[in-house]
Structure 1
Amino acid sequence: MTRTQDHIRTAFADAAVTGWLHACDIDTGAEVGFHPDHPVVTASVHKLCLLVALHQCAAQGDFELTEQIEVPPTGRTFGLTGLGAMLDPARVSLRDAAYLMMSVSDNIAADLLLERVGLDAVNRTTTQLGLSHTLAIHTFQQLLDTIKKDAGPSGTRALTDPHTITRLTALDPARTNRSTPRDMTRLLSCIWRDEAGTPDHGAAIRRLLGLQVWPHRLASGFPFDDVHVAGKTGSLPTLRNEVGVVEYPDGGRYAVAVFTRAANTAATLPAADAVIGTAARIAVDALRAPRTRRRSGA
């Protein structure tokens, strides 16, 4: 184990989580990993795969991103943000639904887009980009339905019980939407190098990733006005994830994917959120070391 990997291991241990990480320099390919090929549950991180598939379909002429979709007030996927928290009928474009899906992780917006794109298209996209360990098998409503079913009659109250947690299909990467940290940094690198679509569509995807509102995970490791962090979180009981790109003013840009699982079933664990930023910063600092030495003349 390298010194960097040991520091990452210690950070995860101090936060009382099990963690998996991959980070790479988008331009040189230099990388840092901590069990980077371990299968992980993506949760809402899989919305990034859907976003790329949406733009690929639009680029192929399947539809216009300005196409309007109706959102009735009933039958909506559960969610505490975006359309899920709204009470009245709504009408949004595909691209505005994509904004809600990425900025506030709107589950209803995501499932509306999945109705238009299809799970098969999402999986074709990830396969074409070389993400060999990434697979979507559920819509977000179906994912939440498995949690409701597995939790039993006690509902969400049962999710504080460790025995209930062990039987949740949604937490088993063999039975739910899944990937690996390395696959996710590959996807991010493709987006930032305009290899996941046309330059215009790539710019639109990068813009949406930069509009995410949550600062408490990946971005917390880079509290600098001149460092830009764009990412997508994912959360389920005991799981906290984020993938994203960190861009420095000297041109350095780094794709990072951090996935964690806590033994503690509490919904609020600030240390578990913060360690995503801490581990990412350790990895990015290691990747930046050669650049920093060159600039200092060392």
Structure 2
Amino acid sequence: MTPAPPPPPAPPPPQRQPRPGRPPGRPPRPADDRPGAHRAPRSRIRQAFADAGVTGRLHARDIDTGADLAVAADTPVSTASVHKVCLLATLYREAEHGRVDLAAPVDIPAAGRTPGPTGLGAMRDAARLSLRDLAVLAVSVSDNTAADVLWDTVGIDAVNRTMAGLGLTRTTAVQKVRDLYAALAEDAGDGGAAALLDPARVARLRALDPARTNRSTPRELTALLAAVWRDEVCTGAYAADLRRTLGTQTWGHRLASGFPFDDVRVSGKTGTLPTLRHEIGVVEYPDGGRYAVAVCTRAAATAVTLPAADAVIGTAARLAVDALRAP
């Protein structure tokens, strides 16, 4: 009897093909761009940014559980007045360590103030205020003169050391507010403020380049807020007063517009430069939920008044927080 022929050899296993659109050797996409959890909310947030005519970056985190949602959250951004949160965190940390007296009065002469449309920059007479009251002005109406008094008090190096001590290695200050405004004026040239409506001129502004101005990422900005709310920047009465100060902002047209409820508290700080509209803040619900959110946008249009670009910050923040609160 003739024996049966041996079975044919098994075919070699198929070679794994690269995923469509990803050339071999290309690193994987960042975690916030991968399919998976929060895919639908992230898609809706990106669409909201597109509908508003802005490029948007967002990070939201549950302060207590660490759950998060991100859209391009590791992209460096020019922080503008958002960096005042870094400044105040340092001020209160220095105060807790006895290096600054928050009640110390400071004389602010009428001349030589940092430009700005609000606060001391818009006032005409000499003033005397404590450091903690200057901190309130720096947040509540984004007072640039008040902020620069605080920058002069604690110093840029101290602010950067505080951020590094919190592990925020991509959050860096390189200039005070007066220096930022001087760069804007120099870049605008003879055209003055009107030149800042010219897209070609705006594209060359150093103040918009994260490599040449104060900078951070949305992910690090929410980490800073979470540290403030968890008493990791300072503790006790200092931490409570810092949070109270961060809750004094008067603007409700950006982050707060997404949470129009009497029992939801929003503590935030805006940042604004030509084409840039940012806000970071903490949203606190009556059930104890606490969420740090950073939304940073850049508009395609150079117009000063763009209501849709302001409103999308609240829209995107609400979508992100709702996703984190979903069962």
TM over 0.5: yes
| Equivalent position to 1:139, from 138, 153, 176 | 176
Which residue in 1 is equivalent to 2:186?
Answer: 149
Which residue in 1 is equivalent to 2:163?
Answer: 126
Is there any run of 5+ residues in structure 2 with no aligned partner, and where? 1-34
Matches within 5 A, 1:203-214: 203-214=240-251
Q: In structure 2, what is the Cα distance between the partners aligned to 1:54 and 1:63?
A: 7
Deviation at 1:202, TM superposition (A): 1.2
Write the deviation string for residues 141-187 of structure 1: whole angstroms up to 9, x where unpaired.
Answer: 00011110011111111000001001100000011000000000000
Structure 2 residue identity aligned to 1:146 = A
Deviation at 1:98, TM superposition (A): 0.4
| Equivalent position to 2:58, from 10, 13, 21 | 21
Which residue in 2 is equivalent to 1:192?
Answer: 229
Q: In structure 1, what is the Cα distance between the partners aligned to 2:287 and 2:71?
A: 26
Q: In structure 2, what is the Cα distance between the partners aligned to 1:240 and 1:204?
A: 27
Does residue 86 (structure 1) correspond to residue 146 (structure 2)? The answer is: no
Deviation at 1:63, TM superposition (A): 2.4
Write the deviation string for residues 193-220 of structure 1: whole angstroms up to 9, x where unpaired.
Answer: 0011112111111101111000000000
| Equivalent position to 1:232, from 266, 269, 272 | 269
Matches within 5 A, 1:97-176: 97-176=134-213
| Equivalent position to 1:44, from 75, 81, 90 | 81
Does residue 183 (structure 1) correspond to residue 220 (structure 2)? The answer is: yes
Structure 2 residue identity aligned to 1:27 = D
Structure 2 residue identity aligned to 1:75 = G
Deviation at 1:86, TM superposition (A): 0.4
Q: In structure 2, what is the Cα distance between the partners aligned to 1:37 and 1:197?
A: 26
Q: In structure 2, what is the Cα distance between the partners aligned to 1:288 and 1:206?
A: 22
- Aligned to 1:154, the other structure's residue is in SS state helix
Write the deviation string for residues 206-262 of structure 1: whole angstroms up to 9, x where unpaired.
Answer: 101111000000000000111110000000000000000001111111000000000
Which residue in 1 is equivalent to 2:12?
Answer: none
Which residue in 1 is equivalent to 2:44?
Answer: 7
Structure 1 stretches of 4+ with a deviation exceeding 6 A read none
Write the deviation string for residues 27-81 of structure 1: whole angstroms up to 9, x where unpaired.
Answer: 0000000000000110000000000110111111112100010100101000111
Matches within 5 A, 1:249-264: 249-264=286-301
Flag the structure with larger Rg. Answer: 2
Which residue in 2 is equivalent to 1:216?
Answer: 253
TM-score, normalised on structure 2?
0.88
Structure 1 residue identity aligned to 2:222 = T
- Aligned to 1:99, the other structure's residue is in SS state helix
Percentage of identical aligned residues: 63
Q: In structure 2, what is the Cα distance between the partners aligned to 1:175 and 1:147?
A: 12
Q: In structure 1, what is the Cα distance between the partners aligned to 2:236 and 2:269?
A: 20
Q: In structure 2, what is the Cα distance between the partners aligned to 1:142 and 1:110?
A: 12
Structure with greater proportional helix content? 1
Deviation at 1:129, TM superposition (A): 0.6
Which residue in 1 is equivalent to 2:90?
Answer: 53
Structure 2 residue identity aligned to 1:11 = A
Which residue in 1 is equivalent to 2:28?
Answer: none
